[in-house]
Amino acid sequence: MYNEDIPTRAELPTTRQLIRSTLIAITSAIAILVTVILPSEYALDPTSIGGALGLGAMGEIKQQLAREAEEDRLKEQQSPSPASADQQSSLFDATIAFLFVSPAAAQTVTNEWRDEISITLTPGQGAEVKLVMKKGASAQFNWVAEGGKANFDLHGDGGGNSISYQKGRGVPGDEGSLIASFDGNHGWFWRNRGKQDITVILKVKGDYTEIKRAM
């Protein structure tokens, strides 16, 4: 087996040489720290060499990113966690649903149509539906002519008074509000001018005391 020759004492570096090499290494490290690391990592450029090498801008970007990350971290600590926010949002939604949606649903139930009448008209046949109302009373209505169209006259009479609110020919339906101009009977007359049967479906609600149908 071959062993390398052990260097002689004369070949080993002297203490002075070791100290000199160490000082050179330390000086080089300091120079790299000041001219490269500080400008590129911390935006510190005491010698302006980093700026000349374009390292200062790199350091400023890194410092800006670090500051933004720290600001985000502080905001996350001060604001509720996502789970907490979701819980609060769910609680808020539930409260809103209880306070507003539920009453609205109840109101929808209570605001359903008060009366619904279905009348089948053969070709040429007419029919009339009247609401007994006081002057200024209001009623909401919706009617459709299934299977065709109808002529109609929305009118009122009573106490020697008469009025025609609206007329239409060949209409598939209508909706709106009826406000009584005087005490009496107010409603619709339909006639089927088509060649086949139609079914008029009327839905009403509002301030009336009676609904009457006449053929």
Q: Is the pTM of this model over 0.85?
A: no
Least confident of 5-9, 48-52, 112-116, 134-138: 5-9
Amino acid at residue number 16: R
Cβ–Cβ under 8 Å, residues 193 and 108: no
The tally of CA atoms less than 13 A away on the side-chain side of residue 195 is 0
9 falls in which pLDDT band (50, 70, 90)?
Answer: low
pLDDT digits (tens, 9 = 90+) for 28-54: 888 887 777 776 777 777 777 766 776
pLDDT value of position 83? 46
Percent of the chain with pLDDT over 70: 68
Flag whether pLDDT at 93 surpasses 80: no
Please report the pLDDT score of residue 27 as a whole number: 86
According to the model, what pLDDT value does residue 192 have?
Answer: 96
Let me know the angle formed at the C-alpha of 38 by 32 and 42, rounded to the nearest 5 degrees. 160
Fold of the domain spanning 115-214:
Jelly Rolls (2.60.120)
Q: Two tokens at 115?
A: 């009366």
φ, ψ of residue 168 in degrees (nearest 5): -155, 150
- pLDDT value of residue 100: 46
Mean pLDDT of the chain: 80
Tell me, what's the pLDDT at 133? 97
pLDDT at 204 over 80: yes
Q: What is the pLDDT of residue 89?
A: 52
Is residue 132 pLDDT above 80, yes or no? yes
In angstroms, the CA 157 to CA 8 distance is: 136
The answer on pLDDT for 107 being more than 60 is no
Pick the more confident residue, 149 or 90: 149
pLDDT for position 105? 42
Q: What is the predicted pLDDT for the residue at 62?
A: 64
Give the Cβ contact number of residue 132 at 10 Å. Answer: 17
Assess whether pLDDT exceeds 50 at residue 103: no
Query: What average pLDDT does this structure show over 80-102?
Result: 49
Q: How confident is the model at residue 150 (pLDDT cuts 50, 70, 90)?
A: very high
Domains of the chain, by residue range, sit at 12-78, 115-214
